[in-house]
Chains A and B, each alone.
Chain A
């Protein structure tokens, strides 16, 4: 039985569908500004993690340049919006410029270095990402340096924009939610992310996805049945770069701020790696689960620990251990436990439930 048709696969797909529904109705279900920020970040990171999984999970490519492409997309849109004003022409030009630069860099890195051993390729991507990070920090005139760039998004996404006017001339509400530009901004991020995720899902489900999995499993065997491994790996590297760049553009429009910390830092790269490992490599569903859990932990683990510390205030030691400032320590513990109990990631491990065991 294929792993995609097991009982576990059904559980994972149901969970992902529930997450999708929660994200679709997020503005109505969680009516506070922070929750909407979290939902938008989850949407962006699902795309970013899924595109990284195309590399590491489906093709076996270890790259540290994924945030570089994300950052290039974000900076492209940010610079265009800053320089040209908040029109859609700036969004289009900035996004296309970011994609074009990402594509050129991906082709160059791919063709020059995907022939070498995996460790050398990883080092080359690390070097390229470092160079771009330093450039973004130092080219003050263009990128705003360490402070980054603040700009206005298209007026459709302005909180002052009324998507739907009530009888009193003020912005209308639906189930208590204001029909304003903020809502439009969220759905722009949600729909862009959904379209990109579905694209990657179709890609991995197509014969191309099968070829990628074959390359990951054994390059020489894939070549012996007629596949040019370097060409395929370069192609996938380019696709992943373009998707990451588009995710970056989308995030730049949502945040209305782009800086090294939000778009290019290695902390983002580490987050992506953790999300891929937690969710499960080689499955698009894993990207959704990993991104959701990690972003929720980053935003709400502190609050949860504050509650727990308050509830155990009368007990010895425990309140000190549960101090909110120790949230990173607990995140580390949770990560170790997840890796121990779900060695193939949450989705990867659960999807094996109901599959035949080896050694028949």
Chain B
């Protein structure tokens, strides 16, 4: 059974239909990559899974449990973390407070925290600093750290490399590889090289529809398909 199943999901934002009959099966473990051009519906898909937009009709099931109509906070408590494109951190709170917020008990699991600070050493350096004062890369690290401060079954990450320096993108890829050993990641990404280095399974969204799905290895090998769906050579 898939960890996450999306069946015939349609999402409207106001009078506009953004997603049309999206169906996806995200297996447990590894990184599942959702590719697509700007405005294709990738972010709307993640937001619909989180209940921030309500799909109608269609359904989203997580470990067999229907998430449709469920409150966002309840979905998060089922073990799904969401790292939005704008990182979703709280600028007025310190690094420590941002992380405490995502813990279930208000206390850190010391072993887990040590693992996270080993992945992102900058967070320890700026522990008592307010998050607005961090650089873009540090903010992204904080956003990802917040998603994994508690054990999660699924992490939805929206374009984590956007606007980051190449050296930080490399560090982020390393971090995601390690995180994916114990958690499933559904990654929305436009940076194909980054996505290819991480993804096991993938799908491409085009105009709110699934245009292709399969393994990353097959897709990476098919240059013509890449050009047609992502216009990489354009």
Interface flags for A256-278 (1: CB within 8 Å of B; 0: not) read: 00000000000000000000000
Contact B92 A227 (CB under 8 A): no
Binding site for B on A (CB under 8 A): 1-3, 5, 206-207, 210-211, 213-214, 217-218, 220-229, 355-356, 358, 360
Q: Which residues of B contact A220 (CB under 8 A)?
A: 52, 72
A to B CB contacts below 8 Å, 9 in the list = A207-B100, A217-B92, A223-B72, A224-B82, A227-B73, A228-B71, A355-B130, A356-B129, A358-B132
- CB under 8 Å from chain A, chain B span 53-99: 71-73, 76-77, 81-82, 84, 88-94, 97
Tier of interface size on chain B: 20 to 34
Contact A207 B129 (CB under 8 A): no
Contact A5 B93 (CB under 8 A): no
Does B14 lie at the interface of the complex (its beta carbon under 8 Å from any beta carbon of A)?
A: no
Given A223-B73, A226-B76, A356-B129: A207 touches B106 (CB 8 Å cut-off): yes
Q: Which residues of A contact B71 (CB under 8 A)?
A: 223, 228
Contacting residue for A226 out of B73, B106, B135, CB 8 A? B73
Cα distance, A356 to B135, chains bound together (Å): 13
Q: Which residues of A contact B84 (CB under 8 A)?
A: 221, 224
Does B102 lie at the interface of the complex (its beta carbon under 8 Å from any beta carbon of A)?
A: yes
Q: Which residues of A contact B129 (CB under 8 A)?
A: 1-2, 356
Contacting residue for A5 out of B50, B76, B128, CB 8 A? B128
Q: Which residues of B contact A1 (CB under 8 A)?
A: 128-130
Q: Which residues of B contact A229 (CB under 8 A)?
A: 73
Given A207-B106, A217-B91, A220-B52: A2 touches B128 (CB 8 Å cut-off): yes
Contact A217 B128 (CB under 8 A): no
Contacting residue for A214 out of B50, B76, B101, B128, CB 8 A? B101
Contact B50 A224 (CB under 8 A): yes
Q: Which residues of B contact A206 (CB under 8 A)?
A: 106
- A-B pairs with lowest CB-CB distance, top 3: A207-B106, A226-B76, A223-B72
Cα distance, A206 to B105, chains bound together (Å): 12
Cα distance, A92 to B148, chains bound together (Å): 49
Contact A224 B130 (CB under 8 A): no
Cα distance, A229 to B76, chains bound together (Å): 13
Q: Which residues of A contact B77 (CB under 8 A)?
A: 226
Contact B128 A213 (CB under 8 A): no
A189 to chain B, nearest CB (A): 34
Contact B76 A224 (CB under 8 A): yes
Cα distance, A358 to B134, chains bound together (Å): 9
Q: Which residues of A contact B114 (CB under 8 A)?
A: none
Cα distance, A1 to B126, chains bound together (Å): 8
Q: Which residues of B contact A226 (CB under 8 A)?
A: 73, 76-77, 102
Contact B146 A2 (CB under 8 A): no
Interface flags for B112-146 (1: CB within 8 Å of A; 0: not) read: 00000000000000001110110100000000001
Q: Which residues of A contact B94 (CB under 8 A)?
A: 2
B105 to chain A, nearest CB (A): 9
